[in-house]
Amino acid sequence: MTQDLQRRLESLWGLERRHLKLGLDGTRALLAGLGNPETRFAAVHVAGTNGKGSVCALVERVLRAAGQRTGLYTSPHLVDFRERIRVDGRWGDEGELEAALDRVEALPGTASSTFFEVATALAFDHFSRHGVTWGVVEVGLGGRLDTTNVLTPAVCAITSIGLDHAEMLGDTHAAIAFEKAGILKAGVPAVTGVEHDVAASVIARRAAEVGAKLSHARDVAHVKAIQRGDWGTRLEVDCAPWGRFQLQMALRGGHQHENARTALAVLSELARQGVPVSLAALREGFGRARWPGRLEPCPNEPRLWWDGAHNTDGMRRLCLAWTDDLRLAPPAAIVFAAGRDKDVRAMLTRLRSLAPAAALFVTRTANERALTPDELVAVARDAGWTAQASPDVKTAIAAALARAGAPGPAGSPRVLLCGSLFAVGDAMRANGGAPGEQV
């Protein structure tokens, strides 16, 4: 990436400091100035506390296999801003991004725009200019006031409800469900994978209020994981209009069969609307879908595994997947970083149940909301850990790998990095494995 584009993107990222400005007016103004590109493609809109990225990746890859020209808009990026905005799995080139920034910055009022408003406008403009027929769009934060909620999609999905971003969305499942359900719209079919009783009732009530036909994924797609391992997951499925069949996907962990069920329910609804999704496209899409940074080994250092789990429910899923699905020995060392808006003590307590004998290395990312290593040491002590502080992710990984030791006859002692997607990005910069131009 050129130094000039890097500088402009860093300036754009700096707008995140105005993240407390919620609402849709700013996004609508930018999109109107660009000629309302969001009206030029059909869309799938996906919200949820955990799993929404995996669902987006599966749906997009199946639609691509079905011959559609797809756009994928997700957040955050791990290494490069362009990861957020892809057409047919490929990010735009630097010249395109520079020209798009020129157009946005020339619009009246852009100086008061937030990072997410500008990023969303860039994504939808890019989709429009590249003739995208289907955009798969992940909600960034919440739903009701998220910048992506300017869409009128063909189908909405809510994957799960957990306690995260409490300072902005509320500190109860009901409050967070209300915000996520804000993407539901009159006449737009919706799919939910939410199992929490209180949250599910809030979503059902909101769907009835706005006139959105709501289906639960488990009633649409009957999915059973029949084989799991470090290679991925094999599923047995019964879902209209395809009937009974099997699927294999590279996404790891038992929780991925829940995400697969939601994705299949979305695709079933699209097929009902006339989108030509064949069984062959399902198999190809599920088999090739990638969601980097989630429960995978570093390609250049097989002892190092990372996962973007950054809240209590995500950590629970990670620990279950590690022991029950991948059947790996407890990690010999753990590298942990987290934001100050997270329930860090609960996450560390969960990790201690996974690996009570592991060495814990705490560190921080460059994100301004990250807890310092010294702050994490104190919380770790409360959770029963003796933690070693490292100034950055690269240093922490090196120390953890040294503590884990070299591979032996019984296999490699593993290091697990988790707690923050920003930390996964830092690990990729230091050790390789970034998503890259094409997924």
Please tell me the class of the 296-431 domain: alpha beta
Q: Which of 221, 309, 318 is nearest to 262 (CA)?
A: 221
Percent of the chain with pLDDT over 70: 94
Can you give the pLDDT at residue 259? 96
Among 14-28, 95-109, 282-296, 397-411, which stretch is predicted with the lowest mean pLDDT? Answer: 14-28
Measured from the Cβ of residue 287, the count of other Cβ atoms closer than 10 Å reads: 14
Is the predicted pLDDT of residue 15 greater than 70, yes or no? no
Please check whether residue 84 is in contact with residue 75, taking contact to mean a CB–CB distance below 8 angstroms: yes
Q: Tell me the C-alpha distance between 270 and 263, whole Å.
A: 11
Model confidence over 327-361: pLDDT tens digits? 999 999 999 999 998 999 999 999 999 999 999 99
Any idea which fold 3-288 has?
UDP-N-acetylmuramoyl-L-alanine:D-glutamate ligase (3.40.1190)
Whether residue 3 is predicted with pLDDT greater than 80 in this model: the reply is no
Q: Is the pLDDT of residue 277 over 60?
A: yes
For residue 241, whether the previous peptide bond is cis, meaning omega lies within 30 degrees of 0, is yes
Which DSSP string corresponds to 318-369?
A: HHHIIIIIS-PPPPSEEEE--BTTS-HHHHHHHHHHH-TT-EEEE---S-TT
- Average pLDDT rounded to a whole number, residues 53-75: 98
Residue 14 has pLDDT above 70, yes or no: no
According to the model, what pLDDT value does residue 200 have?
96
Amino acid at 254: G
pLDDT confidence of residue 331: 97
Among 101-115, 186-200, 272-286, 339-353, which is the least confidently predicted range?
Answer: 101-115
Average pLDDT over residues 252-279: 96
- The fraction of the chain above a pLDDT of 90, given in percent, is 84
**Least reliable range by pLDDT among 102-116, 302-316, 402-416:** 402-416
Q: Assess whether pLDDT exceeds 70 at residue 410.
A: no
Average pLDDT over residues 235-254: 96
Lowest mean pLDDT among 198-202, 367-371, 427-431: 367-371
Q: Distance from CA of residue 34 to its chain's centroid?
A: 27
**DSSP strand pairing (190-192 vs 387-389):** unpaired
Question: Does the reported pTM lie above 0.85?
Answer: yes
* Average pLDDT of the segment spanning 103-113: 87
| Pairwise CA distance, residues 280 & 276, whole Å | 11
CB contact set of 371 (below 8 Å; sequence gap of 6+): 337, 338, 339, 340, 344, 364, 379
| φ/ψ bin of 51: left (φ > 0), alpha (ψ from -120 to 50), beta (otherwise) | left
Least confident of 60-69, 95-104, 263-272: 95-104
Quick check: 159 pLDDT over 70?
Answer: yes
> Contact at 8 Å (CB) between 165 and 132?
no
pLDDT at residue 245, rounded to an integer = 98
Q: Rounded mean pLDDT of the chain?
A: 93
Q: What is the pLDDT of residue 13?
A: 65
The residues of the chain that CATH labels 3.40.1190.10 are 3-288
pLDDT class for 170, splitting at 50, 70, 90?
low
Supply the pLDDT for residue 196: 87
> What's the pLDDT at 355?
97
Where exactly does CATH 3.90.190.20 map onto the chain? Answer: 296-431
pLDDT category at 141 given cuts 50, 70, 90 is: confident
